[in-house]
Amino acid sequence: MMSPKALRDLKPNLTPGAKLTPLGLGAWNLEIPPGPKGRYRLAQLDDYSIQTRRSFPWQPPLTLSLKARVSDLDIPGTWGFGFWNDPFSLSLGFGGGSRRFPALPNAAWFFFASPQNYLSFRDDLPANGFLAATFRSPAWPPPVLALGVPALPFLIWKPTTRLFRRLASRAIQQDAARLDIDVIQWHHYSLIWQKNLVSFLVDGETIFETPIVPHSPLGFVLWIDNQYAALPPVGSLGYGTLPTEAVSWLKVEGLQIVRH
């Protein structure tokens, strides 16, 4: 079971107006206010914000489990829970925790992305909606990744962006399944992370398994925000923040991370 110390290690990351309300042991309400586009809104709980990536706390085998529900079926932006390596550490320029060198993504999580997002390097995988998803990337040293920085301004050109997407699909392994679930209602979610397999369960039923397993160590993250990012096959790169007309929230109960 997640130890009292591990629960104490969870720290909030909030933009102005966002709220994180404890509801009991392992239970919280994460809330972001309404507002226009152009302003980042985030409510997040994580255990890695002041650590280096090599000091992130989680590696397989383990099981994450919790109950969750959200305020609306189509919250503008993203929300979810699981494990990742916080590859950008800058939230695409709109905010973030400690500043680390960028890295390629490693993740295993339940992830919702509104329709403005397109978060897949592969054409045969879902790129938005409510997903069970994993990413596995090599641990390239920062100087190697820095070689690509001069090319970033050229991503405004669709041919360059399409080339970048093809190259990324070769370096970054990923797998995902779209989940047909009424997320407004309470459901019990489990993620079993083993060395050679990641299993996703909803209400005790296995709904997706994949051998695309992220490299560890990773940090735990639970969040809701109004951000989007899109890298579709046509090459029209897009990112930014979305307007929200009402308060958006994510409630969780019974958070546990059990090491095996």
Q: Beta-carbon neighbour count of residue 34 at 10 Å?
A: 13
Instruction: Please state which of the ranges 3-7, 95-99, 113-117 shows the lowest mean pLDDT.
Output: 95-99
Instruction: Sketch out the chain's domains with CATH numbers.
Output: 4-259 (2.60.120.200)
Q: pLDDT tens, 234-246?
A: 877 788 999 999 9
In the block, tokens 């060198």 appear at 101
SS3 190: strand
Q: How far is CA 108 from the centre of its chain?
A: 8
Distance CA 67, CA 31 (A): 17
Confidence check: pLDDT of 2 > 50: yes
Structure tokens, 259: 């090491």
Q: State the pLDDT at residue 148.
A: 47
* pTM metric for this prediction: 0.90
SS3 71: coil
Q: pLDDT tens, 246-256?
A: 999 999 999 99
Any alpha helices (H) in 19-103, and if so which ranges?
A: none
Any alpha helices (H) in the chain, and if so which ranges?
A: 4-8, 142-146, 158-171
Q: pLDDT tens, 134-185?
A: 999 987 555 544 444 444 444 444 666 676 677 777 889 999 999 999 999 9
260 by Cβ neighbours in 10 Å (0-12 / 13-18 / 19+) ranks as exposed
